[in-house]
Amino acid sequence: MQKYMAEFIGTFWLVLGGCGSAVLAAAFPEVGIGLLGVSLAFGLTVLTMAYAIGHISGCHLNPAVSIGLCAGGRFPAGQLVPYIIAQVVGAIAAGGVLYIIASGQAGFDVAAGFASNGFGEHSPGGYTMLAALVCEVVMTMMFLLIIMGATDDRAPAGVAPIAIGLGLTLIHLISIPVTNTSVNPARSTGVALYVGDWAVGQLWLFWVAPIVGAVLGAIIYRVIGSGND
């Protein structure tokens, strides 16, 4: 139960910190943090939680990461469902808190996106569904490679959270214009449910693509790192 509570809290922080920076601070008049700031915010949520709860739950904060680590032989299949439930519930709770805060400003309109992920007309840069699918698969694949490599027994001790946090920052720097960056089904679900409509209609891609990418990344690392795990 402690592990599941840790995953709930960690995913709550990821969504509140990452999506919160996008909704509340990205375009704030004159001093908005922009794409770079939002990317850094997502990376910092993972980095801080990795040090805070990594020793409790492993700090997955992401159903795709849990599934990928399972495929990579690093996580027991029997814990997948409760981990994923804790992550999704934590993300939805964070979305609720963010909604309460954001709606305190006059003119707030959740239909504007609320940091939801999307493709086509709902992609920040107008990218197609295929582009979004490929982007999410590849970015999550690389994320799993980073996670598995950084947490390998032979990797330098104590620095995995830094590598993983910076990896997620880089992923956001690349892909925010394409999909608003998911690589995390819980993160996508946590805000999409409050938008409804198109955000829920396109949510399937942000479950399928990250999971496929995570499994691919885990398989690739098992091949290139064989004998090291």
Where do the domains of the chain lie?
2-224
Residue 4 has pLDDT above 60, yes or no: yes
Residue 228 has pLDDT above 60, yes or no: no
- Residue type for position 155: A
Residue 130 has what pLDDT?
98
Distances from the Cα of 130 to the Cα of 25, 171, 214, angstroms: 30, 18, 18
Q: How far apart are the first and last CA of the chain?
A: 27
**CA 78/CA 47 separation, integer angstroms:** 26
Residue 229 has what pLDDT?
44
pTM of model > 0.95: no
Residues 133-161: pLDDT tens digits? 999 999 999 999 999 999 998 888 889 99
Residue 111 has what pLDDT?
84
- Residue type for position 84: I
Taking residues 200-226, what's their average pLDDT? 95
Residues 47-69: pLDDT tens digits? 999 999 999 999 999 999 999 99
Residues 25-45: pLDDT tens digits? 887 666 668 889 999 999 999
Lookup: tokens for 160: 């995995």
Residue 183 has pLDDT above 60, yes or no: yes
| Residue 172 DSSP label | H
Residue 184 has pLDDT above 80, yes or no: yes
Lookup: tokens for 55: 């020793």
Residue 224 has pLDDT above 70, yes or no: yes
**CA 19/CA 179 separation, integer angstroms:** 13
Could you tell me which residue, 106 or 92, shows the higher pLDDT?
A: 92
Burial (CB < 10 A; 0-12, 13-18, 19+), residue 29, is exposed
For the chain, the average pLDDT equals: 93
The CATH architecture to which 2-224 belongs is: Up-down Bundle (1.20)
* Contact (Cβ atoms closer than 8 angstroms) between residue 59 and residue 74: no
Residue 29 has what pLDDT?
62
**CA 191/CA 116 separation, integer angstroms:** 6
| Residue 171, phi then psi, degrees to nearest 5 | -60, -40
The closest alpha carbon to 58, from 136, 148, 126, belongs to 148
Residue 62 has what pLDDT?
97
